[in-house]
């Protein structure tokens, strides 16, 4: 959510930003917001004048009573009563307009960084850099579900009976590989100085609307029936929500955290679920990184964070690339974002395995997360990035470490988490 003062003083900048995101239907909201803001400020001024008048009149009542001018005092009391009635009307109108103003401001997109490429959707995202050779072996690499099945590592049929489409059982050494990736990602981030956390896996609605836009919430989140609780789609949600309403100490910044959680997503719409495989599912696990910092440090952290993910995947023998998200693919709260995509030697193309974003002070402003420095109190900046998400990351590791005999080599960095196992071989 933008600062109302910024909208008031930079109306054309806000409108141009909306146009660059191809959300022209939101353009009238800017003028509506400015008009509502003017009405609210007028009501506030009227209210302040009435309160001053009430205070002055109340002081007169005491003086008149001491002078035994009872009739005049009663007349002043009637004036105070009338002022109070007017104040009630003004305060109710101010509250109503303020709620309307907030609801409109919540859908105005954050101001993007100037470096964000302009494009309508994810088809116009821009490749920035590649890391590692995108190698295609001479032998055929089967579909990942077929590889895993030959390794006795997955059971989607039973999961369909227990839970429905979009769920799965991972078993045996594939399940161990999955957990090894998460554990390695955790230790990698701890070694980078991040504090490890396991957050709540459910959050209240006011936290949900604080960390993401309403359309995102509707598309992603599962609500617990009869309760004000939602299953998290990523641990970023509860990790940022942890600081809701707080003034963090400036000397404690930056706050650098890495968190594990299961994640739950509807995955509805045009993408749909993957019937046989594990690419698009309702439930997965993820190691995340979160940074809360001073505004002037956020871009430096953004650059560090996505590179951490690159290094993690390269250490697991997976070639990756960085893809800059264009304006039309940028969620409304984000200032700048990029995807890390892993190479698929089977498909001979890249696919998303992580996303890094800086949100400026958008989440902090919605949730009331501030810090206090020499120049007063101000909103912090928040950033988040995927270290590893599995099973999507698992697919990348399996395909890029697949051998012609059907075995999967365990990347060296993961072997300590698998009892020294060097490869996973097909079972009879």
At the fourth CATH level, the homologous superfamily of domain 122-424 is: Bira Bifunctional Protein; Domain 2 (3.30.930.10)
pLDDT tens for 157-214 read: 999 999 998 899 999 999 999 999 999 999 999 999 999 999 999 999 999 999 988 7
Residue 271 has pLDDT above 60, yes or no: no
Contact between residue 326 and residue 118 where contact means Cβ atoms under 8 Å apart: yes
Q: What is the pLDDT of residue 197?
A: 98
Q: What is the pLDDT of residue 215?
A: 75
pLDDT tens for 340-393 read: 999 999 999 999 999 999 999 999 999 999 999 888 999 999 999 999 999 999
Q: What is the pLDDT of residue 71?
A: 85
* Residue 229 pLDDT level (bands cut at 50, 70, 90): very high
185 closest CA partner among 20, 369, 340, 5: 340
Task: Check residues 74 and 184 and name the one with the higher pLDDT.
Answer: 184
Q: What is the pLDDT of residue 159?
A: 94
Average pLDDT of the residues of the chain: 94
For tokens 């999967």, the residue is 408
Contact between residue 368 and residue 382 where contact means Cβ atoms under 8 Å apart: no
Contact between residue 170 and residue 144 where contact means Cβ atoms under 8 Å apart: no
pLDDT tens for 380-391 read: 999 999 999 999
Residue 278 has pLDDT above 70, yes or no: yes
What is the model's pTM? 0.90
The rounded percent of the chain whose pLDDT value lies above 90 is 86
pLDDT tens for 128-150 read: 999 999 999 999 999 999 999 99
Contacts of residues 10-17 at CB distance under 8 Å and 24 or more positions apart, as own/partner, are: 13/111, 14/108, 14/111, 17/109, 17/111, 17/112
Q: What is the pLDDT of residue 276?
A: 80
Integer Cα distance of 325 and 136 in angstroms:
27
Give CA torsion, residues 347, 393, 168, 137, to 10 deg.
40
Residue 316 has pLDDT above 60, yes or no: yes
| Domain boundaries for CATH 1.10.287.40 within the chain | 4-105
> What mean pLDDT do residues 281-294 have?
96
Residue 13 has pLDDT above 60, yes or no: yes
Q: What is the pLDDT of residue 273?
A: 61
Residue 355, classed as helix, strand or coil, is strand
Task: Check residues 374 and 411 and name the one with the higher pLDDT.
Answer: 411
Q: What is the pLDDT of residue 270?
A: 45
| Domain boundaries for CATH 3.30.930.10 within the chain | 122-424
Count of C-beta atoms within a 10 Å radius of residue 425: 13
313 closest CA partner among 395, 425, 228: 395
CATH architecture for segment(s) 4-105: Orthogonal Bundle (1.10)
E strand or H helix at 252: none
């Amino acid at each position: 959510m933008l600062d109302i003062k910024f909208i008031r003083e930079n109306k054309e900048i806000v409108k141009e930003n909306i146009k660059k995101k191809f959300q022209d239907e939101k353009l009238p909201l800017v003028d509506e917001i400015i008009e509502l803001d003017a009405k609210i400020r007028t009501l506030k001024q009227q209210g302040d004048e009435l309160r001053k008048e009430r205070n002055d009149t109340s002081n007169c009542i005491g003086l008149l009573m001491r002078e035994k001018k009872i009739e005049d005092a009663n007349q002043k009391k009637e004036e105070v009563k009338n002022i109070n009635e007017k104040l009630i009307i003004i305060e109710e109108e101010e509250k109503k307009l303020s709620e309307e103003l907030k609801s409109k401001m919540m859908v105005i997109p954050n101001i993007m960084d100037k470096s964000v490429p302009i494009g309508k959707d994810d088809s116009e995202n821009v490749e920035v850099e590649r890391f590692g050779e995108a190698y295609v072996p001479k032998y055929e690499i089967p579909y990942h579900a077929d590889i895993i099945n030959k390794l006795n590592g997955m059971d989607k049929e039973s999961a369909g009976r227990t839970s429905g489409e979009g769920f799965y059982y991972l078993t045996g050494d594939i399940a161990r590989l999955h957990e090894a990736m998460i554990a390695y990602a955790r230790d990698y981030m701890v070694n980078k100085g991040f504090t490890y956390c396991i957050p709540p896996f459910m959050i209240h609605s006011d936290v949900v609307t604080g960390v993401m836009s309403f359309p995102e919430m509707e598309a992603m989140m599962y609500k617990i029936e009869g309760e004000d609780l939602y299953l998290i789609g990523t641990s970023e949600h509860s990790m940022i929500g942890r600081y809701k309403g707080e003034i963090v100490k400036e000397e404690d910044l930056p706050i650098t955290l890495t968190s594990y959680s299961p994640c739950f997503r509807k995955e509805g719409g045009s993408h749909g679920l993957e019937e046989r495989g594990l690419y698009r599912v309702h439930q997965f696990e993820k190691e995340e990184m979160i940074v809360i910092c001073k505004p002037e440090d956020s871009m430096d952290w953004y650059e560090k964070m996505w590179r951490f993910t690159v290094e993690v995947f390269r250490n697991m023998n997976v070639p990756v690339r960085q893809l800059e998200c264009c304006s039309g693919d940028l969620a409304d709260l984000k200032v700048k974002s990029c995807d890390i995509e892993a190479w698929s030697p089977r498909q001979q193309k890249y696919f998303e395995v992580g996303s890094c974003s800086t949100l400026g002070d958008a989440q902090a402003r919605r949730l009331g997360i501030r810090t206090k420095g020499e120049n007063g109190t101000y909103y912090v900046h928040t950033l988040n990035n995927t270290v590893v998400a599995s099973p999507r990351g698992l697919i990348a590791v399996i395909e890029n470490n697949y051998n012609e005999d059907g075995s999967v080599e365990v990347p060296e960095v993961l072997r300590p988490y698998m009892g020294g196992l060097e490869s996973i071989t097909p079972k009879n």
